[in-house]
Structure 1
Amino acid sequence: MYVIEILLKNTAMPMSVQRKTVEEATTVYHQVLEATKSNDRSLLELACDRQPEKKIAVMTDAIVAAQMYEKSGAAASGKTPGFVAFAEVAS
């Protein structure tokens, strides 16, 4: 399962939807990127593959950041998804 998270202005928690394949997730991720690049103030509506009843709608001018990651791969590698990466300090 792949997760696409969207961070909105003045909102502490990101919104997310899930896709079953990397191709579908990449399509949604690029859809979010294109919506933020356009100067139009429009509504972007997304639905979740895992929970079809889960839908989100966001104003494109409120999107601050987006990320895509594999849900099972992040847990298995010990790396948590996120926008901040910490460097390892050599001792």
Structure 2
Amino acid sequence: MYVVELSLKLSPMPVSVQRKELADAQALYGQIKAVLESGQPRVLELSCEKAEEKLVSLLSSELVAVQLYERSAAGGTGTKRPGFSVDS
């Protein structure tokens, strides 16, 4: 399972949606990145493949960052932590 996570202005909690396939997650990441690069405010409607009945609409001008990471199948201990860090 792959997670596309969006950081919003003035919000400590990110919004995330899941995709089953890496190609689908990369395509969504690319679409969101293109909207950010355009500089034109748009409404983005996103759905989650894990819970298809859940929808969220966001104004692109409120997005600060987007990231893509893989969520491992293991429980909390084997989950890959999102973000960037240096492991020593």
Which category of TM-score, normalised to the shorter sequence, fits these structures? 0.7 to 0.9
Q: How many residues align?
A: 86
Q: TM-score, normalised by structure 1?
A: 0.84
Which structure carries more helix by proportion?
Answer: 1
Larger Rg: 1
Pairing 1:1-91 to 2, within 5 Å after superposition: 1-72=1-72, 76=78, 79-82=80-83, 84-86=84-86, 88=88
Greater displacement, 34-43 / 1-10: 34-43
Unaligned stretches of 5+ residues in structure 1: none
Tell me if structure 1 keeps the 8 A contact 2:45–2:58: yes
Distance 1:85 1:58 in 2: 28
Distance 1:79 1:52 in 2: 23
Instruction: Give the distance between the partners of 1:5 and 1:30, measured in 2 at CA.
Output: 13
Identity among equivalent positions (%) equals 38
RMSD: 1.8
| SS of aligned partner of 1:72 | coil
- Counterpart contact for 2:72–2:80, Cα < 8 Å: no
Alpha-carbon separation, structure 2, partners of 1:37 and 1:7? 15
Q: TM-score, normalised by structure 2?
A: 0.87
Deviation at 1:17, TM superposition (A): 0.4
Provide the rounded CA distance (Å) in 1 between the counterparts of 2:82 and 2:42. 28
5+ residue gaps, structure 2: none
The one-letter code sitting in structure 2 at the alignment partner of 1:16 is S
Task: Report the AA paired with residue 7 of structure 2.
Answer: L
C-alpha distance in 1, partners of 2:73/2:38? 32
Moved over 2 A (4+): 73-76
